Structure 1
Amino acid sequence: MAGSGSDGARTRLAVGLIVSLFFLWGIANNLNDVLIPHFRKAFTLSDLASGLVQSAFYLGYFLIAVPAALFMQKYGYKRAVIFGLCLYGGGALLFLPASQAQSYVFFLAALFVIAGGLAFLETAANPMVAALGPAEDAERRLNFAQAFNPLGSIAGILIGRTFILSGIERQPEEIAAMSSSAVAAWRAEEAAAVQMPYLVIGLGVLFWALLIALTRFPAIAGRQVAGENSSQVGGFRALFQRPLYLAGVLAQFCYVGAQVGLWSYTIRYVQEEVPGTGEKRAADLLILALILFMVGRFAGTALMKRIEPLRLLGLFASINAALALVAALAGGILGVVALTLASFFMSIMFPTIFAASLRGLGPLTKLGSSLIVMAIIGGAVITAAMGLLSDLSGTIRLAMLLPAGAFLVVLLFARQSARVPA
């Protein structure tokens, strides 16, 4: 009995520490939404060029996810989490020399390193939470853990709004009238604004890595699953023979692309559709959207006690496709309201798709998790495509057609998966 109580306490502590990771990567993910308008201003970038913030970030996810899964197979969940936190913290600290160099490319490289760390964290944390309990309850359990992610997202936007966005928005003609030394000083000041936030984040993340390293976790955090290391090539071949799993990977690609695209261009959209809105006021609306996202996570988790998770996913996806169309075609205040409300209905999508895609994979779970994390590259592809469409059309509004189509793909996955017994 004593051993059982000890194991229970150890599991609760492990779950608490893993849930904290959802908060930590929420900060990094949504600070990007502030970095996009900040770098667009500081380096005088187009929508497509500023959208490369997300491209560099999610390329890190794409390229590191499989190495993270292989690392996990050999060393277990816990060591993968520690290594991911070290990469995350190190990437954040790279913002200091990038700021000194005033190099946009250097900043993108630092974001790539951060994303590599987050690829380790997400590849390990999501299946770990799904594994710590009954398989039939995995979607609801993962939604509950993911409900703490928006807290980090809100913290990230607040940090960016308070310490990075200066509120100084110079028009092209104003910059042209300034002396070269004045322009250089202004750009240096804008670049330096990221130093302190990322220094604190980097040191905090490295401290959390040390804390997890010193904490005893349940055996599942360090052991391998029988048969999972037999053949990586064979494992991936087996995954590619599962149509429903591949549909989940595609749905995750589309969902993440829609979510990242909507949030990345929210500030830009609000300033275009409601002329005269400052960047800080537009960031406030993004914070409201993230609050709705967090409320949606808790509300969605509660609704899953009454409504089958995949049916709820389909309902939310159809609503969001309609809201994205309103944002694209109506614009103005109505478009801003639709864009903001979409966050509530995006809330359950990532964890529900993740858990549903991993159903029945058994020893293929870790490899399967890596491909779903790779699908996060949708955040780079769709965000960049939205920026390109905005540049070509002259308005960010029409770019919202791409998320609308992405939500329809999620709807199709939900309907297809709901027909298959758990």
Structure 2
Amino acid sequence: MAGPVNGSAAVLRDAAPLGTNYRPALTLLASLFFMWGFITVINNTLLPHLRSVFELSYTQTTLIESTWFIAYFFASIPSAKLIERIGYQRAMVAGLGIMAAGALLMIPAARLPSYGVTLAALFIIASGITLLQVAANPYVAVVGSPETASSRLNLVQAFNSLGTTLAPLFGGYLILGRSTSGTSGPGAATLTQAERLADAQSVQLPYLIVAVALIVLAIVIARFPLPALGNATRRSAKAERKGLSLWSHRNLVLGVPAIFIYLIAEIGVSNLFINFVSQPEIGNLTHEQASHYLFLLWGGMMLGRFVGSVLMQKVAAERVLGFVSLCACAVMLVATFTSGHVAMWALISVGLFHSIMFPTIFTLAIRGLGPLTEEGSGLLVMAIAGGALVIVQGWLADTYGLQWSFLLTAACELYVLLYAAWGSRPTAALPPPEVVR
């Protein structure tokens, strides 16, 4: 059901097995997670490309990604309000439409070419993804048993990682592989004006393909009978929320900065990966060649989420989170203090340990929020704006060196470890919302 829940709707009881009743809906939502992962990670091949086209510093390059994540800060609360007004399903369709509009705007941005229009287009795409995140993450977490929420969200996030795994190949072939900057070696000469113009226009085809795929997916979701969430009516749920405070839930209060800080780590690694491994003292690769290794970084995240989904059916989610955060910190220190293929493979391996962090922190943070789940989700998705602080890592790379900047990533992993060990324990827990037809 797309709109607000009707008071006479029948509640789906525990007698209905999750696999039988919700599998079609979760399968469709997995395709949604795939698409936003795919379009987000195209940025990882787009950024080194734009750095050459516009002759940007690391700070200016990471500002592009900061603009992307600033959209999460500004669009999260309006997204939560919109979902409350029109329902989860219509919000997902709207999010896909906004993303498609932004993808189409990348075409004139490439033809001009314009750094400012490119930033605007990416901001619009990210605003659409924000709406999808606020709608889809809590939907998947709540549409089933609370005990397996982390496992379920990790499973659909694995399809998000499938999108992030394939995106570097797509971007590497259609953007970097069709541009002079992408196929030139590390010591290549500066591009001529004509070469920069030709390179800029290479992004038109991939973004047109993405826009068409988003429109098709929006049509499919609009016509699909998704179960709706709510206790009875949205009005009564709103009345229930009076007198309840998000700030009494420690797992949410500390989970918001955990998401914020984790995103600094994930985005910093993925956005600077191609520049890092292409350096002569690390991998000595072209940007196009480096994009194939980026495929392995995101492939590790996909594998880790599938494994994590199974593992967390038997092991407490917070224990798994603590283990992977400790491992992630260790391999980032190896990437910082070594060189050559050791440093390169250490950086690639962090994808495996980052894999379950976002979905696990998210489900631990909304655990026990009850009728406050939508608002809590809005705050958590707003915290994805932490990715905007990748500009700090860009500044560190310009000032102290690209390799030393990964110490910031290692420090971020330590906060996630603290959250797993203590901050994720719920306080003032409330019963979860019910699922209705």
Normalising by structure 1, what TM-score?
0.91
| AA at the equivalent of 1:258 | A
1:223 and 1:83 mapped to 2: Cα distance?
A: 24
Structure 1's 8 and 222: CA in aligned 2 closer, same or farther, altered over 3 A? farther
1:193 maps to what in 2? 202
2:250 and 2:314 mapped to 1: Cα distance?
A: 28
1:405 maps to what in 2? 411
More helix by share: 1
Instruction: Determine helix, strand or coil for the equivalent of 2:315.
Output: coil
| AA at the equivalent of 2:183 | I
Gaps of 5+ in 2: 1-11, 430-437
2:233 and 2:112 mapped to 1: Cα distance?
A: 44
Instruction: Determine helix, strand or coil for the equivalent of 1:324.
Output: helix
1:133 maps to what in 2? 144
1:271 maps to what in 2? 278
Cα shift at 1:305: 2.7
Instruction: Determine helix, strand or coil for the equivalent of 1:45.
Output: coil
**Contact 1:61 1:116 (C-alpha < 8 Å) held by counterparts:** yes
1:259 maps to what in 2? 266
Which range moves more in the overlay, 403-412 or 160-169?
Answer: 160-169
2:359 maps to what in 1? 351
1:145 maps to what in 2? 156
Cα shift at 1:188: 1.2
2:256 maps to what in 1? 249
Cα shift at 1:363: 1.0
2:193 maps to what in 1? 184
2:255 and 2:50 mapped to 1: Cα distance?
A: 34
**Contact 2:251 2:424 (C-alpha < 8 Å) held by counterparts:** no
1:292 and 1:218 mapped to 2: Cα distance?
A: 32
Paired residue for 1:56, among 59, 67, 80? 67
1:210 maps to what in 2? 219
Cα shift at 1:169: 3.1
1:323 and 1:366 mapped to 2: Cα distance?
A: 35
Cα shift at 1:324: 1.0
Normalising by structure 2, what TM-score?
0.88
Deviations 1:171-208 (A, max 9, x none): 89833xx8xxxx22211111111000000100110111
The alignment yields a C-alpha RMSD, in angstroms, of 2.5
Alignment of 1:332 with 2:343, yes or no, is no
1:370 maps to what in 2? 378
- Once the two structures are superposed, the pairs formed by residues 13-52 of structure 1 within 5 Å of their partners are 13-52=24-63
Deviations 1:330-384 (A, max 9, x none): 2332211111111001111010000000011111111110110011111111x11
1:62 and 1:327 mapped to 2: Cα distance?
A: 31
| AA at the equivalent of 1:334 | V
Structure 1's 149 and 224: CA in aligned 2 closer, same or farther, altered over 3 A? farther
Alignment of 1:311 with 2:335, yes or no, is no
Structure 1's 16 and 334: CA in aligned 2 closer, same or farther, altered over 3 A? same
**Contact 2:99 2:127 (C-alpha < 8 Å) held by counterparts:** yes
| AA at the equivalent of 2:420 | A
TM superposition outliers: structure 1 runs of 4+ over 6 Å: 7-10, 170-173
**Contact 1:271 1:282 (C-alpha < 8 Å) held by counterparts:** yes
Cα shift at 1:226: 5.8
| AA at the equivalent of 1:387 | G
Cα shift at 1:400: 0.2
Deviations 1:201-235 (A, max 9, x none): 00110111111112222233898556443499x68
1:223 and 1:27 mapped to 2: Cα distance?
A: 36
1:242 and 1:363 mapped to 2: Cα distance?
A: 13
2:85 and 2:231 mapped to 1: Cα distance?
A: 9
Which range moves more in the overlay, 318-327 or 111-120?
Answer: 318-327
Cα shift at 1:302: 1.7
1:221 and 1:214 mapped to 2: Cα distance?
A: 21
**Contact 1:252 1:375 (C-alpha < 8 Å) held by counterparts:** yes
Structure 1's 224 and 387: CA in aligned 2 closer, same or farther, altered over 3 A? farther
Cα shift at 1:12: 2.9
1:221 and 1:107 mapped to 2: Cα distance?
A: 39
Name the % identity. 38
Cα shift at 1:147: 0.9
Gaps of 5+ in 1: none
**Contact 2:324 2:354 (C-alpha < 8 Å) held by counterparts:** yes
Deviations 1:257-284 (A, max 9, x none): 1011101111111122426311112111
1:240 maps to what in 2? 247
Alignment of 1:299 with 2:307, yes or no, is yes
**Contact 2:251 2:366 (C-alpha < 8 Å) held by counterparts:** no
1:8 and 1:173 mapped to 2: Cα distance?
A: 54
1:321 maps to what in 2? 329
| AA at the equivalent of 2:110 | S
Structure 1's 400 and 138: CA in aligned 2 closer, same or farther, altered over 3 A? same
Structure 1's 108 and 231: CA in aligned 2 closer, same or farther, altered over 3 A? farther
Structure 1's 252 and 324: CA in aligned 2 closer, same or farther, altered over 3 A? same
